């Protein structure tokens, strides 16, 4: 029998585990299932409140003694190319973009393995096999796309982004690229191209995931003008990255019950 889902989603908290961004810290996440007829509305609403999607789950960091992770997005109206970003575009002028439905391929997985083995061999995804990779790409209850970048001359796949289309922007859920093209700044190029994608679609934001002050892995995100971070229950312009310090006070986060109570949920009543 088919049972309707409750109007209010249920929220849960993961067990603490080592933080992938800050040494010596423990990570904990607040999460909820993304499913049912109102999945897109829920994804849009929670993305605007600092949540991210991973397959059929929406999550947000909720660490007991740290609130350093800040959801980041680029306000396209405020974005201006820097000189180094112009050079990045020029270096990658020999690439072409293609967009398709979320479907995993062996070529994507081969590139994914190269990327992990050389860039994130000790990360949480290092042991992901081809079936888990396919699930990451294909298990999505919302409007998602796979954006591929190929070398025009060789046809080689050099970059991939799993991208969600939100009500107010595009969200780069996960991206990876050829690690042997270190001087091409492919990660930066893919973000710049997504700014064009969002602009062409008339969408105001590109969501980048989390930016963590003090984490070298995340430092590149602070180099984009027009960057905003979700802090203090609202989006704030990040004009000066040095203004944001990792908040590691024991009382930096509200209790879980209070966090959940302050989450705004979408109106799921049917329209007449």
Same domain, 87 and 60: no
Lowest mean pLDDT among 22-26, 35-39, 96-100, 231-235: 22-26
pLDDT at 271: 53
Same domain, 31 and 158: no
Task: Classify residue 39: in a domain, yes or no.
Answer: yes
Task: Classify residue 271: in a domain, yes or no.
Answer: no
Number of domains comprising the chain: 2
Task: Classify residue 187: in a domain, yes or no.
Answer: yes
Same domain, 87 and 53: no
Same domain, 195 and 133: yes
**What residues have CB less than 8 Å from 245, skipping those under 6 apart?**
213, 214
Query: What mean pLDDT do residues 213-219 have?
Result: 76
Of residues 2 and 242, more confidently modeled:
242
Pair of tokens at residue 24: 């010596």
Residue 38 has pLDDT above 80, yes or no: yes
CB 175 within 8 A of CB 183: no
Beta strands 169-177 and 205-211: pairing type? parallel
CATH code where residue 180 lies: 3.40.630.30
Same domain, 77 and 31: no
Query: Which pLDDT tens digit goes with each residue over 150-202?
Result: 999 999 999 999 999 999 999 999 999 999 988 899 999 999 999 999 999 99
CB 156 within 8 A of CB 40: no
For helices 130-138 and 106-119, angle between their N-to-C axes, nearest 10 degrees: 110
Query: What mean pLDDT do residues 51-73 have?
Result: 91
Same domain, 230 and 257: no
For residues 41-56, b (16+ Cβ closer than 10 Å) or e, as one string?
bbbbbbbbbbbbbeee
Query: What mean pLDDT do residues 63-75 have?
Result: 89
Same domain, 213 and 79: yes
Same domain, 207 and 252: no
**What residues have CB less than 8 Å from 148, skipping those under 6 apart?**
97, 98, 99, 100, 108, 157, 159, 160
Same domain, 112 and 223: yes
Q: How far apart are CA 48 and CA 72, in angstroms?
A: 10
Q: Write down the mean pLDDT value for the chain.
A: 88
Name the pTM for this structure: 0.90
Task: Classify residue 4: in a domain, yes or no.
Answer: no
Same domain, 253 and 139: no
Residue 126 has pLDDT above 80, yes or no: no
Scanning 92-235, the segments in alpha helix (DSSP H) are 106-119, 130-138, 186-200
Scanning the chain, the segments in alpha helix (DSSP H) are 39-47, 83-91, 106-119, 130-138, 186-200, 256-261
pLDDT at 3: 38
Task: Classify residue 266: in a domain, yes or no.
Answer: no
Task: Classify residue 38: in a domain, yes or no.
Answer: yes
Same domain, 48 and 84: no
pLDDT at 36: 87
Query: What mean pLDDT do residues 115-134 have?
Result: 80
Task: Classify residue 156: in a domain, yes or no.
Answer: yes
Task: Classify residue 170: in a domain, yes or no.
Answer: yes
Pair of tokens at residue 88: 């990045």
Residues spanned by the domain of 41: 11-69+247-261
Nearest one of 246, 233, 241 to 65, comparing CA atoms: 246
**What residues have CB less than 8 Å from 249, skipping those under 6 apart?**
65
Query: Which pLDDT tens digit goes with each residue over 80-119?
Result: 999 999 999 999 999 999 999 999 999 999 999 999 888 7
Query: Which pLDDT tens digit goes with each residue over 246-255?
Result: 665 556 677 8
Q: How far apart are CA 109 and CA 132, in angstroms?
A: 10
pLDDT at 188: 96
Which band of pLDDT confidence, cut at 50, 70 and 90, is reported for residue 256?
A: confident
Residue 130 has pLDDT above 90, yes or no: yes
CB 124 within 8 A of CB 132: no
CB 108 within 8 A of CB 137: yes
Q: Which residue has the tokens 């979408």?
A: 266
Which band of pLDDT confidence, cut at 50, 70 and 90, is reported for residue 145?
A: very high
Q: How far apart are CA 225 and CA 259, in angstroms?
A: 30
Same domain, 65 and 200: no
């Amino acid at each position: 029998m088919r049972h309707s889902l409750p109007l209010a989603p249920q929220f849960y908290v993961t067990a603490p585990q080592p933080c992938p961004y800050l040494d010596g810290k423990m990570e904990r996440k607040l999460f909820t299932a993304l499913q049912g007829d109102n999945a897109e509305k829920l994804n849009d609403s929670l993305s605007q409140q600092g949540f991210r999607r991973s397959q059929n789950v929406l999550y947000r960091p909720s660490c007991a003694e740290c609130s350093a992770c800040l959801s980041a997005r680029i306000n396209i109206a405020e974005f201006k190319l820097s000189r180094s970003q112009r050079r990045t575009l020029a270096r990658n002028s020999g690439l072409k973009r293609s967009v398709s439905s979320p479907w995993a391929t062996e070529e994507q997985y081969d590139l994914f393995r190269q990327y992990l083995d050389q860039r994130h061999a000790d990360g949480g995804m290092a042991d992901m096999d081809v079936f888990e990779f396919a699930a990451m790409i294909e298990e999505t209850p919302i409007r998602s796309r796979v954006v591929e970048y190929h070398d025009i001359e060789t046809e080689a796949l050099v970059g991939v982004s799993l991208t969600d289309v939100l009500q107010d922007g595009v969200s780069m859920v996960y991206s990876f690229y050829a690690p042997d093209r270190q001087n091409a700044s492919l990660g930066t190029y893919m973000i710049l191209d997504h700014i064009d994608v969002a602009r062409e679609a008339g969408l105001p934001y590109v969501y980048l995931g989390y930016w963590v002050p003090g984490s070298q892995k995340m430092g590149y995100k602070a180099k984009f003008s027009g960057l905003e971070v979700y802090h203090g229950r609202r989006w704030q312009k990040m004009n000066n990255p040095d203004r944001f310090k990792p908040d590691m006070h024991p009382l930096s986060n509200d209790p879980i019950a209070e966090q959940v109570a302050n989450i705004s949920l979408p109106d799921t009543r049917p329209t007449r």
